[in-house]
Amino acid sequence: MRAALRAFGELGITAGLIILLFCAYLLWGTGAYTVQQQTVLRRQLIQEFREKRPAPLGGIRLGGAMALLRIPRLGHDYRYAIVEGVGPEQLRMGPGHYPGSAMPGKIGNFVLSGHRTTYAAPFNRIGELRRGDAIVVDAPEARYTYRVTGTRVVMPTEIGVIAPVPDMPGRKPTDALITLSTCHPEYSAAQRLIVFGELDSSRKRRR
């Protein structure tokens, strides 16, 4: 009996260590991958900024860098290269742009999705944003500053929030909007936390 209890205890400790190591990998190991990818993507963007290279006619390839995201309320060092696409591979690299949604600064809804807990958790703190906060998007051709207009928690099935006119599918857009989406609550995908904003100003890059 004692031997069985000892063996059971040792198995429990081993299982606990494995779970602990796995959690550490999810929180920090995946972040190291994203940091590495972000370094490459930001270099790509810097080169495009220097050349003021327009978006390709066929669109940006999946996983390609399209703009730099900055949110002042989340800190001076908060900056992420936005990638094209919201599939698992793209979101491991950083915040992703929904293909088919508006491009930065354009009429329609510029929709971004990002992880909240793993892969550097770029959208971990977007719940702290308040009405009027700036969301700055640096694209090769210009800098676009959006202002937060509201937040909401929705079910994953409520896809109307990413329509060209949020909650009004089928309506033709007349404004340049931005929508940020992430899982809610933390460590769960039961719901989605949504942050809405609208374009406040734009500044073209000097040639």
Q: Catalytic site residues?
A: 115, 183, 192
User: Can you list the positions of beta strands (E) in 122-190?
Assistant: 134-138, 142-154, 176-184
Residue 126 neighbours by CB under 8 Å, 6+ apart:
71, 74, 114, 180, 182, 193, 195
> Which two structure tokens, joined as six digits, stand for 135?
């969301």
The token pair at 198 is 């609208």
How far, in Å, CA of 120 to CA of 136, rounded? Answer: 19
Query: For 116-190, where are the alpha helices, taking DSSP H only?
Result: none
